[in-house]
Amino acid sequence: MTQYDDRSSKNRFATIAVGAAEIETHPHRGGTNDVVPPIHLSSTFEWASGDEANEHVYSRAGNPTRAALEEQLARLEGGDHALAFASGMAAISTAMLSLVPPGGHLVASDSIYGGTENLLTEMLAGHFDVDVDFVDTRDPENVSAAVDSETDLIWAETPTNPLMRLCDIRAIADIADDYGISFGVDSTFASPYFQAPLELGADVVVHSTTKYLNGHSDSIGGAIITNDETVFEQLAFAQQVGLGNMLSPFDCYLVARGVKTLPARMKHHEENAMAVARFLESHNRVARVYYPGLESHPQHDLASEQMSGYSGMLSFEFDGTPLELEAFIEGLDLFTPGASLGGVESLIEVPSLMTPDEVSHGEATAEIPETLVRVSVGLEDPDDLCEDLRTALP
Ligand code: PLP
């Protein structure tokens, strides 16, 4: 049981999500009694000694609005500690740079967000001489085969962006335990509502809060949650001193506000995604749909086991030429073509067309088909969403 126990019941989760007033680090409890933790913009805090000493000294090192959000995120994820970063990439790079020394060894999933892949190949391997092994983490045996006593970190994303592949968190956590190394999981696609990697044995959980946690496409941010005291100290040092890449007070406020409706939004995202996935699966210009909630997903059983729901992300292979695909995207009214995901509005992205830098994958990583379409299903009426797709599909 962790400090913020019992998040497993969904009611409890919703209570935690809404309960900003219960946050112990809420700076105005007993003072002005705000229900919502206020935005503290001050970069510095008056110094005092002894009993008068202020909890906060300088906002890079610690800020009351950030502290309140970090406590809220730790509770949601069932962890002891959380840190809020300036972006998801800031969180991921901080974890990797802190936990893997120059010349170290990192085993990563071969299906992973393109930005993370670039970080691994360009910075970790390129600048810090880290030996990065990409493996197909759908089979834990591949992880076992790549890890040795010199390995520093195992890194996986589940479900993955954009191929919607899963890995067995518990099985990989057991491998990491056998070698006494850390296992980090990017759980952005699932959100803390549908997946709890720490409970399954992961050491570090990362989110791009830009996505579901904030949920309204108006803030870039990231978070790390961990129960490991030593890891937390390392990451906190990097955030507050070494890299200084913490989340601003205003963005902390936005994310904290978004979190309150996370349970309500995630249920709705999932319902809509299921409707869209089933519609796409029945369409003759769609070759294949990748949604963990569909029985046809090869890892549907694993998804049902380790997730409490299937979230709002899916991808599909369009059956047609790239030109026809572009015409389909242009013919959509409700789905906005664009990067990012997890907001209330539906977004659609063709990685090969819109984010080619992120799909110029080398041979070490999983191929992303040219006509793959990624959909972030929003909160619009599901019939309207399916109708929009029906009208635009050739
Ligand atoms: N992790 C995943 C799974 C993502 O999809 C993204 C961005 O799309 C990131 C991390 C990076 O997050 P950010 O854009 O907030 O830096």
Return per-residue pLDDT of the chain as tens, 394 residues: 333 344 555 558 998 898 865 777 776 666 778 888 889 999 999 998 888 888 899 999 999 999 999 999 999 999 999 999 999 999 999 999 999 999 999 999 999 999 999 999 999 999 999 999 999 999 999 999 999 999 999 999 999 999 999 999 999 999 999 999 999 999 999 999 999 999 999 999 999 999 999 999 999 999 999 999 999 999 999 999 999 999 999 999 999 999 999 999 999 999 999 999 999 999 999 999 999 999 999 999 999 999 999 999 999 999 999 999 999 999 999 999 999 999 999 999 999 999 877 775 678 899 999 999 999 999 999 999 999 999 999 9
According to DSSP, the residues that pair with 206 across neighbouring strands are 186, 224
Instruction: Compute CA distances 79 → 2, 24, 70, 275, 330, whole Å.
Output: 6, 15, 10, 33, 43
| Cβ 185 under 6 angstroms from ligand 1 | no
| Cβ 152 under 6 angstroms from ligand 1 | no
How many angstroms separate the alpha carbon of residue 84 from the centre of ligand 1? Answer: 14
How many angstroms separate the alpha carbon of residue 271 from the centre of ligand 1? Answer: 23
Query: Which sequence positions are flagged as catalytic?
Result: 60, 113, 186, 211
| Cβ 195 under 6 angstroms from ligand 1 | no
Q: Which of 96, 111, 117, 161 to mutate to test the pocket of ligand 1 (most atoms within 8 A of CB)?
A: 161
Q: Which of 186, 211, 315, 376 to mutate to test the pocket of ligand 1 (most atoms within 8 A of CB)?
A: 211
Residue 61 CA neighbour count, 13 Å, CB half: 8
Rounded CA-CA distance 27/287 in Å is: 54
**Token digits for 320?**
């047609």
How many angstroms separate the alpha carbon of residue 363 from the centre of ligand 1? Answer: 22
Neighbours of 11 (CB within 10 A): 8
Which atom of ligand 1 lies closest to the CA of 222?
A: 15
| Cβ 157 under 6 angstroms from ligand 1 | yes
| Cβ 63 under 6 angstroms from ligand 1 | no
How many angstroms separate the alpha carbon of residue 245 from the centre of ligand 1? Answer: 15
* DSSP character at residue 58: B
Q: Residue ranges per domain, the chain? A: 13-259, 262-392
Cβ atoms of 390 and 382 within 8 Å: the answer is: no
* Residue 314 φ/ψ, nearest 5 degrees: -150, 165
CATH architecture, domain 13-259: 3-Layer(aba) Sandwich (3.40)
Please state whether beta strands 286-290 and 313-318 pair in parallel, antiparallel, or not at all (unpaired): antiparallel
**Token digits for 65?**
């609005």
The CATH superfamily assigned to 262-392 is: Aspartate Aminotransferase, domain 1 (3.90.1150.10)
According to DSSP, the residues that pair with 226 across neighbouring strands are 81, 204
| Cβ 160 under 6 angstroms from ligand 1 | no
Q: Crossing angle, helix 88-99 and helix 229-237, to 10 degrees?
A: 110
Output the residue whose Cα is nearest ligand 1's atom 12.
Answer: 88
How many angstroms separate the alpha carbon of residue 274 from the centre of ligand 1? Answer: 23
